[in-house]
Amino acid sequence: MIKFSYLLVCLGFVFVSCENDLEAVNALFSKDQVKIEEARDVQLLYSDSAVVRVRVSGPKMLRYVDHTQPKEEFPEGILIEFLRPGSSQTRGSLTAKYAIRLENQSKVIVREDVVWKSGKGEELRTEELIWDDQRKVVHTTHFVKITKPDEEFFGYGFEADQDFNHWKIFNPTGRMTVEGLEEPL
Protein backbone atom coordinates (compact mmCIF):
# COMPACT_ATOMS: atom_id res chain seq x y z
CA MET A 1 0.00 0.00 0.00
CA ILE A 2 2.85 2.40 0.75
CA LYS A 3 4.52 1.66 -2.60
CA PHE A 4 1.22 2.29 -4.45
CA SER A 5 0.64 5.63 -2.64
CA TYR A 6 4.25 6.65 -3.30
CA LEU A 7 3.75 5.85 -7.01
CA LEU A 8 0.57 7.97 -7.15
CA VAL A 9 2.35 10.90 -5.45
CA CYS A 10 5.25 10.65 -7.96
CA LEU A 11 2.87 10.44 -10.94
CA GLY A 12 0.88 13.38 -9.57
CA PHE A 13 4.08 15.39 -9.27
CA VAL A 14 5.04 14.54 -12.86
CA PHE A 15 1.64 15.61 -14.22
CA VAL A 16 1.59 18.81 -12.17
CA SER A 17 5.13 19.70 -13.15
CA CYS A 18 4.39 19.22 -16.88
CA GLU A 19 2.37 22.42 -17.06
CA ASN A 20 3.77 24.70 -19.79
CA ASP A 21 5.11 28.00 -18.57
CA LEU A 22 5.74 30.32 -21.53
CA GLU A 23 8.66 32.04 -19.81
CA ALA A 24 10.27 28.67 -19.03
CA VAL A 25 9.88 27.54 -22.65
CA ASN A 26 11.29 30.83 -23.95
CA ALA A 27 14.25 30.45 -21.58
CA LEU A 28 15.06 27.08 -23.17
CA PHE A 29 15.10 28.40 -26.74
CA SER A 30 16.15 31.76 -28.10
CA LYS A 31 14.47 33.11 -31.25
CA ASP A 32 17.72 32.54 -33.14
CA GLN A 33 17.59 28.82 -32.34
CA VAL A 34 14.08 28.31 -33.76
CA LYS A 35 14.59 27.40 -37.41
CA ILE A 36 11.12 26.24 -38.49
CA GLU A 37 7.70 27.57 -37.57
CA GLU A 38 4.66 25.45 -38.45
CA ALA A 39 1.12 26.71 -38.98
CA ARG A 40 -2.06 24.77 -39.77
CA ASP A 41 -5.10 25.88 -41.81
CA VAL A 42 -3.30 28.98 -43.04
CA GLN A 43 -4.86 31.91 -44.81
CA LEU A 44 -2.66 34.83 -45.89
CA LEU A 45 -3.82 38.05 -47.54
CA TYR A 46 -1.54 40.13 -49.75
CA SER A 47 -2.40 43.73 -50.53
CA ASP A 48 -1.11 46.50 -52.74
CA SER A 49 -1.92 50.13 -51.93
CA ALA A 50 -4.26 48.98 -49.13
CA VAL A 51 -6.31 46.83 -51.52
CA VAL A 52 -6.33 43.05 -50.94
CA ARG A 53 -5.23 41.44 -54.21
CA VAL A 54 -4.38 37.81 -53.34
CA ARG A 55 -5.61 35.26 -50.81
CA VAL A 56 -3.34 32.26 -50.14
CA SER A 57 -4.51 29.26 -48.14
CA GLY A 58 -3.26 25.80 -47.35
CA PRO A 59 -3.58 23.05 -44.77
CA LYS A 60 0.04 23.40 -43.56
CA MET A 61 2.75 26.04 -43.88
CA LEU A 62 6.35 25.72 -42.77
CA ARG A 63 8.28 28.95 -42.34
CA TYR A 64 12.06 28.59 -42.31
CA VAL A 65 13.46 31.43 -40.22
CA ASP A 66 17.02 31.00 -41.49
CA HIS A 67 18.40 34.55 -41.93
CA THR A 68 20.48 33.56 -44.96
CA GLN A 69 17.72 31.65 -46.84
CA PRO A 70 14.26 32.42 -45.42
CA LYS A 71 11.43 30.56 -47.12
CA GLU A 72 7.84 29.49 -46.73
CA GLU A 73 6.75 26.01 -47.79
CA PHE A 74 3.28 24.52 -48.33
CA PRO A 75 4.03 20.76 -48.36
CA GLU A 76 0.37 19.67 -48.33
CA GLY A 77 -0.95 21.89 -51.11
CA ILE A 78 -1.90 25.49 -51.77
CA LEU A 79 -4.79 27.53 -53.13
CA ILE A 80 -4.03 31.01 -54.44
CA GLU A 81 -7.02 33.20 -55.28
CA PHE A 82 -6.55 36.38 -57.30
CA LEU A 83 -9.18 38.85 -56.12
CA ARG A 84 -10.99 41.58 -57.99
CA PRO A 85 -9.88 44.98 -56.66
CA GLY A 86 -12.14 46.13 -53.84
CA SER A 87 -14.03 42.82 -53.77
CA SER A 88 -13.77 39.35 -52.27
CA GLN A 89 -14.75 37.80 -55.63
CA THR A 90 -12.02 35.92 -57.48
CA ARG A 91 -10.80 36.75 -60.96
CA GLY A 92 -8.71 33.58 -61.10
CA SER A 93 -7.11 30.87 -59.01
CA LEU A 94 -4.10 28.60 -58.87
CA THR A 95 -3.85 25.24 -57.09
CA ALA A 96 -0.94 22.86 -56.60
CA LYS A 97 0.01 19.99 -54.32
CA TYR A 98 3.26 21.73 -53.26
CA ALA A 99 4.54 25.32 -53.11
CA ILE A 100 7.60 27.14 -51.84
CA ARG A 101 8.37 30.86 -51.63
CA LEU A 102 12.08 31.69 -51.74
CA GLU A 103 12.18 35.12 -50.16
CA ASN A 104 15.76 36.15 -51.08
CA GLN A 105 15.27 35.09 -54.70
CA SER A 106 11.82 36.72 -54.99
CA LYS A 107 10.40 33.49 -56.45
CA VAL A 108 7.43 31.28 -55.82
CA ILE A 109 7.55 27.73 -57.19
CA VAL A 110 4.44 25.54 -57.37
CA ARG A 111 4.64 21.86 -58.30
CA GLU A 112 2.53 18.75 -58.84
CA ASP A 113 -0.85 19.04 -60.54
CA VAL A 114 -0.60 22.80 -61.04
CA VAL A 115 -3.89 24.25 -62.30
CA TRP A 116 -4.39 27.94 -63.03
CA LYS A 117 -7.89 29.16 -63.96
CA SER A 118 -8.81 32.60 -65.22
CA GLY A 119 -12.09 34.43 -64.91
CA LYS A 120 -12.36 34.21 -68.72
CA GLY A 121 -12.66 30.43 -68.77
CA GLU A 122 -9.00 29.75 -69.57
CA GLU A 123 -7.15 26.96 -67.77
CA LEU A 124 -3.45 26.09 -67.66
CA ARG A 125 -2.21 22.69 -66.45
CA THR A 126 1.43 21.78 -65.84
CA GLU A 127 3.69 20.09 -63.29
CA GLU A 128 5.71 23.17 -62.32
CA LEU A 129 5.24 26.91 -62.53
CA ILE A 130 7.66 29.59 -61.32
CA TRP A 131 6.67 33.16 -60.50
CA ASP A 132 9.65 35.51 -60.70
CA ASP A 133 8.66 38.67 -58.82
CA GLN A 134 11.74 40.62 -59.94
CA ARG A 135 11.00 40.06 -63.65
CA LYS A 136 7.21 40.09 -63.09
CA VAL A 137 6.80 36.89 -65.15
CA VAL A 138 5.47 33.38 -64.66
CA HIS A 139 7.23 30.58 -66.54
CA THR A 140 8.00 26.89 -66.87
CA THR A 141 10.06 24.57 -69.06
CA HIS A 142 7.65 21.67 -68.46
CA PHE A 143 4.79 20.40 -70.60
CA VAL A 144 1.75 22.71 -70.52
CA LYS A 145 -1.83 22.40 -71.64
CA ILE A 146 -3.93 25.53 -72.03
CA THR A 147 -7.65 25.20 -72.56
CA LYS A 148 -9.80 28.09 -73.73
CA PRO A 149 -13.57 27.84 -74.24
CA ASP A 150 -13.12 26.62 -77.84
CA GLU A 151 -9.39 25.89 -78.23
CA GLU A 152 -6.61 23.77 -76.72
CA PHE A 153 -2.88 24.45 -76.84
CA PHE A 154 -0.03 22.15 -75.86
CA GLY A 155 3.68 22.70 -75.64
CA TYR A 156 6.91 22.48 -73.72
CA GLY A 157 7.66 25.75 -72.02
CA PHE A 158 5.48 28.70 -71.15
CA GLU A 159 5.90 32.35 -70.18
CA ALA A 160 3.36 34.99 -69.18
CA ASP A 161 3.15 38.34 -67.45
CA GLN A 162 2.26 37.90 -63.79
CA ASP A 163 -1.40 38.73 -64.49
CA PHE A 164 -1.59 36.10 -67.30
CA ASN A 165 -2.85 38.78 -69.70
CA HIS A 166 -0.16 38.04 -72.30
CA TRP A 167 1.34 34.58 -72.62
CA LYS A 168 3.25 32.41 -75.04
CA ILE A 169 3.92 28.70 -75.35
CA PHE A 170 7.28 27.45 -76.52
CA ASN A 171 7.35 24.44 -78.88
CA PRO A 172 3.55 24.55 -79.32
CA THR A 173 1.30 21.90 -80.82
CA GLY A 174 -2.46 21.80 -81.37
CA ARG A 175 -5.07 23.63 -83.43
CA MET A 176 -5.77 27.32 -83.02
CA THR A 177 -7.89 29.98 -84.64
CA VAL A 178 -6.01 32.90 -86.17
CA GLU A 179 -8.03 35.99 -87.03
CA GLY A 180 -7.36 37.89 -90.23
CA LEU A 181 -6.09 34.99 -92.33
CA GLU A 182 -7.89 34.01 -95.50
CA GLU A 183 -8.50 30.39 -96.41
CA PRO A 184 -6.29 29.08 -99.24
CA LEU A 185 -7.83 29.05 -102.71
Q: Which residue has the higher pLDDT, 170 or 30?
A: 170
Query: DSSP secondary-structure letter at 34?
Result: -
Mean pLDDT of 150-178: 84
Instruction: Please enumerate in sequence order all residues whose Cβ is within 8 A of that of 88, keeping only pairs 6 or more positions apart, or say none.
Output: 52
Give me the residues paired with residue 78 across strands.
96
Number of domains within the chain: 1
Domain contains 92: yes
Q: What is the pLDDT of residues 175-185, one digit of tens each?
A: 666 677 666 65
Q: Could you report the per-residue pLDDT of 118-149, keeping only the tens digit for each?
A: 888 889 999 999 999 889 899 999 999 999 88
Of 84, 155, 95, give the one whose Cα is nearest residue 119. 84
- 64 is a domain residue: yes
pTM: 0.72
Q: Tell me, what CATH number does 155's domain have?
A: 2.60.450.10
- Contacting residues for 67 by C-beta, under 8 A, at least 6 apart: none
Interval 23-49 mean pLDDT: 74
Domain with 149, as residue range(s), is: 33-173
Identify the H or E element spanning 55: strand 51-64
In a domain, 8, yes or no: no
25 inside domain: no
Indicate whether 167 belongs to any domain: yes
Region 27-35: what's the mean pLDDT?
A: 59
CA dihedral 170, 171, 176, 177 (to 10 degrees): 60
Tens of pLDDT, residue by residue over 46-105, are 888 888 888 999 999 999 988 788 999 999 999 999 888 777 788 889 999 999 999 999
